[in-house]
């Protein structure tokens, strides 16, 4: 890789040219200030970063030793907790406090709604995610299994369409009801004595809550309503395919969907070198400048996708109101673990990737801060910081962003951070973690997928874990999810920051999502993750049904519902009596998920994939879900629930299955029958060397193997 020397660092020429030519101009930051700043981060913060990683290892070794010394004995929860306190894993909880975060945009502070996540390296998807602020409810209901069955290919099906319209109007009856007329019977709209009414033949009726009608477009083609802070647009177009057979000419209901979205530089991407990092940063730059475009073939045509414009309505009082056309964007940086070859420090070591992300993504966001109607209208930059272990690591992130603000000449606490509560040492010390970033925290989110991986890795020596599905039903996870909300509320996040919940990882199962994911707003969460724009539109319906802010008041009044003791209950398979078949199914399911994900990661550089599980349900797989499967197999191997040969046999059997699943992809290289490819080796490493991976993370193996493949 061509490099240039800058401030004693060896910088990939591609990244240096990108920063100089594309990013710095227009930011008011000089080249000298930027590179001197990067050098400061690399050389002053780098060693501290590495020391924090060593501390993780030391703590893990102490925990392993504790379990090994007590092998065969009953678990003593009291002694265990004291031990965790002694080694500083569990820190004392300090006095009550309230977060002090300021200048937070309303999408984060006050409007509960879906949060969409998207790999930043895919411009087509990233644009789609930013534009997913608004989604067609008719399309979401028609195009998925939301109403029971998935659509078949072919022309518009009138019967299916009628079912969709009926379901959407039934939802409107609940979310935006008229006093005495059902939406299905509405034949038109009018203003009578200055009041907005629905008309049905001779009858008319106002809204039950007149305040819900909040606007109309200049050309009268859209009516705007509001429920629990979220907007719904009823589109009137009697000449459209759908509108012409509708008694009121209604052509669609467009729902405010992804209120916020996370552009992901972390677990859903495969960024291993300067080329990949520059791609990720370029897409972020396009989003922050507002000029990102992607052209692609779809339905036999070339489509060019751009960012949507804002929307203008007249209020009932005749004033203009402008609504954002795009989701409020966060960017997820990588955590503290990885280094990256893009920049080498003056000793020739790769600099920590989190430092590179921090400075580069915030510099890029300066373009947004300098324009009107961009992402943040409150002058903030929103960074999700994942995979931090405990308060010291959060404090470290906080100081990194202090330094970044100084380097880039930004007011203190311009950068807001989202703390992923997805490592056990963060969950059990959550209040202190929030305190460590109390002037910039703008979300806490239960990343239960990484959290499950860390659960297994942390207690690897304690014994064999339950089956993956059963782990989800144990005390620890309920306590973790509840306590996250309760502590967030105690620390004053309501009205200032999001309290978020995790990903719906079955992208094609929308009926099940509609049934189950209402649990997230009911739990007091102001946002929860969805994998696609369509899922965002459907999940938005839950926020019409649940008044999250009122629910938060109820929960806060009730106090904490769980304790750290509950979180510390390890979901071990004590006395489990699995049949050979149970074990084989679990192992094969894990093997299939790992291989299906890893082969695309390593061979094609795709960081997030939909991979069928053993029951043929397409699952969203990313590095966090891979971490769970790999750690689970590593745990069962370590405790001899299965043997090495059985796992290898499962890998080989499932490699052939995964090959068949990808048979239509011309770029796919089969793993069977040779099993010698780099991707297959990566999958094996993740499991057979799984116990030795730091915190059970998949990044070190995946990066090494992808770099190996790229080098050939
Ligand atoms: C534990 C964690 O960290 S979770 C966070 C990380 N996970 C994620 O970010 C999940 C993001 N989701 C995805 O990457 C994808 O939805 C996948 C991989 C799960 C499925 O992708 P695909 O198989 O391509 O989906 P599918 O074929 O059903 O749909 C593709 C269409 O949906 C759109 N789409 C799918 N996911 C997204 C998304 N997250 N954001 C925006 N658009 C999306 C695509 O743009 C495409 O539409 P287009 O043709 O108009 O461009
Ligand atoms: O990042 C999210 C998770 O669940 O892990
Ligand atoms: Mg995660």
Count other Cβ atoms within 10 Å, centred on residue 324: 21
Average pLDDT over residues 237-259: 97
Atom of ligand 2 nearest to the CA of 446: 4
**Residues annotated catalytic, as ranges:** 332, 622
The answer to the question of whether 281 is labelled as a binding residue is no
- How far apart are the CA of 618 and the centre of ligand 3, in A? 19
The 3-class SS string of 637-660 reads: HHCCCCCHHHHHHHHHHHHHHHHH
Six-digit token string for 432: 């202190």
**pLDDT surpasses 90 at 111:** yes
Q: What's the average model confidence in pLDDT over 684-693?
A: 98
Question: Mutation test of ligand 2: which of 267, 421, 427, 456 has the most ligand atoms closer than 8 Å to its C-beta?
Answer: 267
The pLDDT value given to residue 576? 84
Q: Is the pLDDT of residue 575 over 90?
A: no
pLDDT range class, residue 574, cuts 50, 70, 90: confident
| Second-level CATH architecture of 82-113+259-501+546-565 | Alpha-Beta Barrel (3.20)
The string of pLDDT tens digits covering residues 337-389 is 999 999 999 999 999 999 999 999 999 999 999 998 899 999 999 999 999 99
Task: Report whether residue 697 contacts ligand 2, using a CB cutoff of 6 Å.
Answer: no
pLDDT > 70: what percent of the chain? 100
Q: How far is the CA of 536 from the centre of ligand 1 (A)?
A: 11
**pLDDT given at position 1:** 85
Least confident of 147-156, 284-293, 509-518: 147-156
Residues near ligand 1 (Cβ within 6 A) = 116-119, 124-125, 128-129, 264, 267-268, 298, 447, 449, 503, 507, 531-533, 608-610, 620, 622, 624
Across 543-689, where does the E strand assignment appear?
609-612, 618-621
Which ligand is closest in space to the CA of residue 500? 2
Q: Say yes or no: CB of residue 564 within 6 Å of ligand 2.
A: no
- What DSSP line would sit under 57-92, residue for residue? HHHHHHHHHHHHHTTTSPP-HHHHHHHHHHTTSSPP
pLDDT in tens, 317-346: 999 999 999 999 999 999 999 999 999 999
Position of tokens 């304690």? Answer: 462
Q: Which atom of ligand 2 is nearest to the CA of 502?
A: 4
Number of the ligand 2 atom closest to the C-alpha atom of 420: 1
C-alpha 240/C-alpha 3 separation (Å) is 57
422 is in an annotated binding site: yes
Contacts of 663 (CB under 8 A, 6+ apart): none
Q: Where are the alpha helices (DSSP H) in 155-217?
A: 158-175
Neighbours of 166 (CB within 10 A): 14
Is 117 marked as binding a ligand? Answer: yes
Only one residue has tokens 């002058």, namely 379
359 CA to centre of ligand 1 in angstroms = 27
- The answer on pLDDT for 52 being more than 90 is yes
Pocket flag, ligand 2, residue 270 (CB < 6 Å): no
Give the distance (Å) from ligand 1 centre to CA of residue 362. Answer: 25
Q: Where do the domains of the chain lie?
A: 82-113+259-501+546-565, 152-162+175-256, 580-711
* 404-441 confidence digits (pLDDT tens): 999 999 999 999 999 999 999 999 999 999 999 999 99
Q: Comparing 15-19, 152-156, 275-279, 397-401, which segment has the lowest mean pLDDT?
A: 152-156
Range in 81-90, 147-156, 493-502 the model is least confident about: 147-156
- Whether 191 has a binding-site annotation, put simply, is no
Q: Quick one: pLDDT band at residue 57, thresholds 50, 70, 90?
A: very high
Which atom number of ligand 2 is nearest to the Cα of residue 448?
4
440 is in an annotated binding site: no
**Ligand 2 nearest-atom number relative to CA 267:** 1
Q: What is the C-alpha to C-alpha distance for residues 609 and 494, in angstroms, rounded to an integer?
A: 34
Looking at residue 664, its pLDDT comes to: 95
Cα 175 to the center of its chain, rounded Å: 27
Give the Å distance between the CA of 692 and the centre of ligand 2. Answer: 21
pTM comes to 0.98
Q: How far is the CA of 267 from the centre of ligand 3 (A)?
A: 7
- Please report where in the chains the tokens 């921090």 appear, as a residue: 358
C-alpha to C-alpha distances, 124 to 117, 218, 389, 592, nearest whole angstrom: 13, 31, 33, 28
Tokens of 320: 């203009």
What's the CATH number for 580-711? 1.20.1220.12
pLDDT tens-digit readout, 213-226? 999 999 999 999 99
Mean pLDDT of the chain: 97
Distance CA 604, CA 609 (A): 11
Q: Looking at residues 38-65, what average pLDDT do you find? A: 98
Mean pLDDT to the nearest integer, 15-19: 98
According to DSSP, the residues that pair with 527 across neighbouring strands are: 500
Q: Determine the average pLDDT of the residues in 95-101.
A: 98
Q: How many degrees, rounded to 5, is the angle at CA 539 between CA 137 and CA 281?
A: 95
Q: Which of 274-283, 449-458, 534-543, 570-579 has the lowest mean pLDDT?
A: 570-579
Q: Quick count: other Cβ atoms within 10 Å of Cβ 547? A: 16
332 among annotated binding-site residues: yes
Question: What are the Cα distances from residue 63, in Å, to 365, 401, 490, 629, 669?
Answer: 41, 31, 30, 22, 41
The CB of 448 under 6 Å from ligand 2? The reply is: yes
Scored b (16 or more CB within 10 A) or e, 632-657 reads bbbbbbebebbeeebbebbbbebbeb
Q: Quote the strand ranges of 246-364, DSSP E.
A: 250-256, 260-264, 294-298, 301-305, 311-314, 320-323, 328-332, 339-344, 350-352
Give residue 153's pLDDT band: very low, low, confident or very high (50, 70, 90).
confident
Q: Which CATH class is domain 152-162+175-256?
A: mainly beta
Whether residue 139 is predicted with pLDDT greater than 90 in this model: the reply is yes
- The residue whose C-alpha atom lies closest to atom 5 belonging to ligand 2 is 450
């Amino acid at each position: 890789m061509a490099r240039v020397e800058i401030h004693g660092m060896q910088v990939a020429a591609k990244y240096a040219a990108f920063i100089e030519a594309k990013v710095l101009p227009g930011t008011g930051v000089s080249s000298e200030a930027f590179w001197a700043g990067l050098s400061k981060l690399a050389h002053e913060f780098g060693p501290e970063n590495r020391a924090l990683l060593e501390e993780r290892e030391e703590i893990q070794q102490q925990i392993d030793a504790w379990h090994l010394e007590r092998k065969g004995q009953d678990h003593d929860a009291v002694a265990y907790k004291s031990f965790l306190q002694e080694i500083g894993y569990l820190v004392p909880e300090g006095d009550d406090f309230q977060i002090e975060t300021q200048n937070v945009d309303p999408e984060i502070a006050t409007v509960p709604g879906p949060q969409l996540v998207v790999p930043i390296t895919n411009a087509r998807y990233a644009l789609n995610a930013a534009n997913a602020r608004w989604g067609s409810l008719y399309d979401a209901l028609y195009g998925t299994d939301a109403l029971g069955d998935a659509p078949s290919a072919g022309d518009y099906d009138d019967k299916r369409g009628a079912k969709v319209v009926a379901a959407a109007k039934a939802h409107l009856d609940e979310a935006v009801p008229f006093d005495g007329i059902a939406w299905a019977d509405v034949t038109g709209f009018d203003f009578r004595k200055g009041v907005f009414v629905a008309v049905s033949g001779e009858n008319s009726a106002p809204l039950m809550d007149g305040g819900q009608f909040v606007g109309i477009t200049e050309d009268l083609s859209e009516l705007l309503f509001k429920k629990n802070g979220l907007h719904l647009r009823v589109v009137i177009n009697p000449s459209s395919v759908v509108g012409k057979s509708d008694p009121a000419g209604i052509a669609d209901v467009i729902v405010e969907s992804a209120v916020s979205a996370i552009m992901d530089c972390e677990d859903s991407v495969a960024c291993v070198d300067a080329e990949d990092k520059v791609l990720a940063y370029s897409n972020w730059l396009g989003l922050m400048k507002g000029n990102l475009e992607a052209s692609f073939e779809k339905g036999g045509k070339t489509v060019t996708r751009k960012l949507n414009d804002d929307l203008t309505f007249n209020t009932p009082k005749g004033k203009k109101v402008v609504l954002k056309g795009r989701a409020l964007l966060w960017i997820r940086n990588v955590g503290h673990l990885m280094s990256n070859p893009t920049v080498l420090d003056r000793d020739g070591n790769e600099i920590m990737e989190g430092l590179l992300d921090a400075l580069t993504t915030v510099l890029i966001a300066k373009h947004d801060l300098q324009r009107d109607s961009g992402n943040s209208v409150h002058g903030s930059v929103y960074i999700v910081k994942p995979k931090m272990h405990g308060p010291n690591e959060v404090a470290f992130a906080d100081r990194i962003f202090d330094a970044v603000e100084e380097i880039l000449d930004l007011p203190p606490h311009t950068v807001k951070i989202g703390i992923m509560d997805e490592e056990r040492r963060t969950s059990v010390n959550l209040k202190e973690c929030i305190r460590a970033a109390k002037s910039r925290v703008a979300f806490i989110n239960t990343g239960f997928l990484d959290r499950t991986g860390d659960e297994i890795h942390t207690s690897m020596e304690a014994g064999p874990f339950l089956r993956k599905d059963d782990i989800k039903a144990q005390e620890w996870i309920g306590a973790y999810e509840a306590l996250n909300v309760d502590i967030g509320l105690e620390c004053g996040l309501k009205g200032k920051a999001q309290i978020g919940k995790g990903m719906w990882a079955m992208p094609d199962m929308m009926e099940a999502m509609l049934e189950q994911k209402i649990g997230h707003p009911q739990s007091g969460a102001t946002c929860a993750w969805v994998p696609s724009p369509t899922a965002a539109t459907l999940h938005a319906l839950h926020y019409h049904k649940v008044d999250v802010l009122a629910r938060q008041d109820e929960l806060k009044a009730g106090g904490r519902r769980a304790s750290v003791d509950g979180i510390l209950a390890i979901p071990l398979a004590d006395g489990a009596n699995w049949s050979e078949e149970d074990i084989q199914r679990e192992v094969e399911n894990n093997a299939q998920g790992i291989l299906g994900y890893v082969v695309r990661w390593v061979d094609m550089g795709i960081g997030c994939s939909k991979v069928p599980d053993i029951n043929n349900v397409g699952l969203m797989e990313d590095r966090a879900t891979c971490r769970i499967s790999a750690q689970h197999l590593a745990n069962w191997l370590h405790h001899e629930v299965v043997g090495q040969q059985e796992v290898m046999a499962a890998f080989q059997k499932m490699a052939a299955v995964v090959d068949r699943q990808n048979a239509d992809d011309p770029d796919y290289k089969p793993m069977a029958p040779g099993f010698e490819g780099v991707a297959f080796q990566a999958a094996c490493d993740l499991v057979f060397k799984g116990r030795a991976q730091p915190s059970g993370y998949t990044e070190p193996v995946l990066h090494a193997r992808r770099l190996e493949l790229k080098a050939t």
